[in-house]
Amino acid sequence: MRGLSLVVLNMVGMLALSPAASAATCGNDGSGFANWLSQYKREAVSRGMSSRAVSRALSGVRYDPRVVRLDRSQKSFKLSFKQFYARRVSSSMIRRGRSYIENNRRLFSRIERDFGVPPEVIVSIWGLETGFGANSGKMSVMRSLATLAYDCRRSAFFTNELDHAIQIVARGDMSPDQMRGAWAGELGQTQFLASNYVKYAVDYDRNGRRDLIRSIPDVMASTANYLKRKGWRAGQSWGPGTKNYRVLREWNKAKVYVKTISVMATKMAGR
């Protein structure tokens, strides 16, 4: 990759994280959470995590019944593309996207050189995910992930995400208090899960931290890095039926969401 030193994970005091779920017993209400959390902390350290990072990340964490209610209330995606696009995208949103690109032309040119992803695609994702950073979420990521890791419905998945969230703290990217996002623990202006944050986030402003909440260069470059690592083909179309369209499916499995990214990017590019 030209002009950029890729992130090398600083794993001092930590071993590679196992995707296996903690053996701690899950629960379907908050009554067993405190015991579960104590056991999770012990097991996390036994699996090679820094005891200091575990303690710091999970200090004061409590069970959040609201998170469980939100998880249980998810419904199947039933909107048509036309309905979804009308709800989520407007002409003013397209104009704002173009303005962001024009006002940050040097940054986006460098990102396209380094990762091969056009600015229109990155900015479309940014706009759809959080309204260009306006709605990235205010819930404690550690509290949400600990609650969902304890909850029996998807314990293994969210235990893995909690492991990686602690790794973000351990390597110094963000403090636990700074890690605020959506109810399911998504972080930053383009909503990275913690495991994807660890794998794909880059320190593009070169300040020593990968900050997907406050650093626009880090946000934009990390989103491009994700797409590149998933197989994005530089200089090629992103419309339906293309290889790049299939890469967008890696970002979000919902067909209407992927089509919306593609159409938004095409309109921003003036095609």
pLDDT tens profile 105-161: 999 999 999 999 999 999 999 999 999 999 999 999 999 999 999 999 999 999 999
Query: What proportion of the chain, given as a percentage, has pLDDT over 70?
Result: 90
Using a 10 angstrom Cβ sphere, with 0-12 exposed, 13-18 middle and 19 or more buried, the burial of residue 77 is: exposed
Burial of 194 (0-12, 13-18, 19+ CB in 10 A): buried
pLDDT for residue 77: 67
Please enumerate in sequence order all residues whose Cβ is within 8 A of that of 5, keeping only pairs 6 or more positions apart, or say none. Answer: none
Q: Is 10's pLDDT higher than 80?
A: no
**Mean pLDDT, range 53-72, rounded to an integer:** 96
Q: State the average pLDDT over residues 1-19.
A: 37
Instruction: Give start and end residues of each alpha helix (H) in 104-215.
Output: 105-115, 119-130, 141-150, 155-170, 194-200
The pLDDT of 219-245, averaged and rounded, is: 98
Q: Which two tokens stand for residue 159?
A: 């235990």
More confident residue, 14 or 124: 124
Q: Would the pLDDT of 178 be above 80?
A: yes
Nearest to 42 by CA among 29, 58, 26, 30: 58
pLDDT at residue 257 greater than cutoff 60: yes
CATH number of 81-136+202-268: 1.10.530.10
Q: Is 39 left (phi over 0), alpha (psi -120 to 50) or beta?
A: alpha
Predicted local confidence at residue 267, as pLDDT: 97
Q: Identify the pLDDT of residue 268.
A: 97
pLDDT at residue 24, rounded to an integer: 66
- 271 pLDDT tier (thresholds 50, 70, 90): confident
Whether residue 17 has pLDDT greater than 80 = no
| pLDDT at site 254 | 92
In the chain, where the domains are located: 30-73+137-193, 81-136+202-268
At which residue do the structure tokens 């209400």 appear? 29
> Can you identify the CATH homologous superfamily of domain 30-73+137-193?
Bacterial muramidase (1.10.8.350)
| Spatial contact of 81 and 46, defined as CB atoms under 8 Å apart | no
The answer to whether residue 228 scores a pLDDT higher than 70 is: yes
Which pLDDT score is estimated for 76?
Answer: 53
Is 90 exceeded by the pLDDT of residue 9? no
- Split at pLDDT 50, 70, 90, the class of 3 is very low
